Amino acid sequence: MVQSLAREYGSRGVTANVVAPGFIDTDMTASLGEELRAKIVGEVAAKRMARSDEVAAAVCFLASPGASCVSGQVLGGQRRAVPSRAARSNARSLRRSRRREALRARSAR
């Protein structure tokens, strides 16, 4: 799709690019749990999650005059931007078991 946009609007001086960094180390991804985070990081070539400042630098470059000839590209720093179905299922199972544990702890009081 981004290549179609680049072709359509390129003659007007408009660039179209996609930034798909994958998982970024944030408070939200910190709540995934160590097991899931380790699995995700294990699938990334750099063996770490991206930092938000790294993604911001890429966006700033693509928005700058220095990138005026870059169009129709997908900038993806990680192999997969979305966890696999199995990883999502594991995360759901982990959340369910934590909820059950919390309920048991409350009822034991």
The pLDDT value recorded for residue 54 is: 92
> What digits encode the pLDDT tens for the residues 23-60?
889 888 888 888 988 988 888 888 888 899 999 999 99
Alpha carbons 68 and 12: distance in angstroms, whole number = 12
Whether 80 shows a pLDDT value over 80: the answer reads no
The pLDDT mean for the chain works out to 86
* Mean pLDDT within 78-94: 67
The pLDDT value recorded for residue 81 is 45
Q: Please list the residues that pair with 74 across neighbouring strands.
A: 18
Measured CA distances, 14 to 50, 68, 83 (Å): 28, 8, 32
Which residue segments constitute the domains of the chain, with CATH numbers given?
A: 2-83 (3.40.50.720)
84 has a pLDDT exceeding 70: no
23, with CB counted inside 10 A (0-12, 13-18, 19+), is buried
- Its pTM stands at 0.62
Q: What is the pLDDT of residue 53?
A: 94
User: 18: helix, coil or strand?
Assistant: strand
The set of residues, in sequence order, having a beta carbon less than 8 Å from that of 81 and lying 6+ positions away, is: 20, 21, 22, 23
Residues above pLDDT 70, as percent of the chain: 90
- pLDDT score of 90 more than 80: no
